[in-house]
Homo-oligomer: A and B are copies of this chain.
Amino acid sequence: LYPAIAEHRVTSVDVARRAGVSQSTVSLVLSGKSRGRVSARTEAAVRAAASDLGYAANVAARALRTGSARTVGLIVPDVTNPFFGRVLRGAQQAAWEEGYAVLLADAGNDRRWQLASLAALNALTVDGYLFFEVEPPPGQRVRGVAIETLPRGLPVVRLDGAAGVRAALEHLRSLGHGCIGHVSAEIDTDTFRIRRETFDACGGGPRELGAVSVDGAREAALRLLDGRAEVTAIFADDDVMAFGVYLAARERGLAIPADLSVVGFDDLDLARVLDPPLTTVAADAEGLGAAAFRALFAVMSGADAEPERVLPVSLVLRESTAAPAAGG
């Protein structure tokens, strides 16, 4: 059932001994470079010996020799956000197909950790980096692709955040909302910069910033609701923040959507669970992760990846939005 996690790790020498060939033949066969060089008999014998012994190549040795550990690092700002789990899974799936592994480094929304993670990955001779909403080191030529940032040297894979924001605002407008508030992430990344700029360009209303967490958003939303303007709808920068808006609305005795419409971004599983279910911009997190890995793979293979890949998003209408109450 399980692969052998042996006491004595079995090496290619063990396999060679068992198959009665030399170590280099084993290496040749198992790295698939035996075409027309090793006889079918020998090859079969080697493979049999390898599987009998449960042989798996030592990555450290291979990495030392080839300079590649067939591994890429994914750096995320906060493993705790469910969105990243999906991105990781997508990236892992795609990486798997090419025989790569994805190492996750959590920057913990903290600069010091971020550096440490990067150093750790670098020391591990990672072949490339996937920077999620994290600034790649400036000035250095790094093999990597950036996820959810604007092009700045590295190839970029990102969601069409602007289209998402536009769709959300148009939807709210068409319902008759005049003053739309924005609960926005205070962290200064392109993802959220784009959302803010688009929001403003579409003539959105007042904005309050908060941490990307339920509580941070709750506080921002309270400020918005207690402010001077008559906010009848709120666009939140992501679903987790939309959850905070729900809390704030409840605290102020506002019914959603009768007194306040809310739109989020991401479409987490839990968006459907809220009462009422959250209208939100659906983002394909797995697709984002997979696309990012493929772009990185292209870069690593020497091909030049497209400088920017923008993935579509779509507004999914649920029940957190409605026309504003007459006489707001």
**Residues of A that sit less than 8 Å from B by CB:** 1-5, 7, 9, 56-61, 63-64, 69, 79-82, 84-86, 88-89, 92, 96, 101, 103-104, 106, 108, 115-116, 118-120, 122-125, 137-138, 140-142, 213-214, 240, 243-244, 246-247, 250, 269-270, 272-275
Chain B residues near A250: list those with CB within 8 A.
Answer: 275
Chain B residues near A274: list those with CB within 8 A.
Answer: 273-275
Chain B residues near A84: list those with CB within 8 A.
Answer: 85
- A122–B275 touching, CB < 8 Å: no
- A106–B88 touching, CB < 8 Å: yes
User: Residue on B with the closest CB to A66?
Assistant: B60
The answer, among B79, B142, B269, for a CB contact under 8 Å with A213, is: B269
29 contacts between A and B (CB under 8 A): A2-B115, A2-B140, A3-B115, A3-B122, A5-B137, A5-B140, A5-B142, A56-B122, A58-B123, A58-B125, A60-B60, A60-B63, A79-B88, A79-B89, A82-B85, A84-B85, A85-B85, A88-B106, A89-B108, A101-B120, A103-B104, A104-B104, A214-B270, A214-B272, A246-B275, A247-B272, A247-B273, A250-B275, A275-B275
The answer, among B7, B56, B79, B103, for a CB contact under 8 Å with A123, is: B56
A223 to B23, CA, bound (A): 60
Chain B residues near A243: list those with CB within 8 A.
Answer: 270, 273
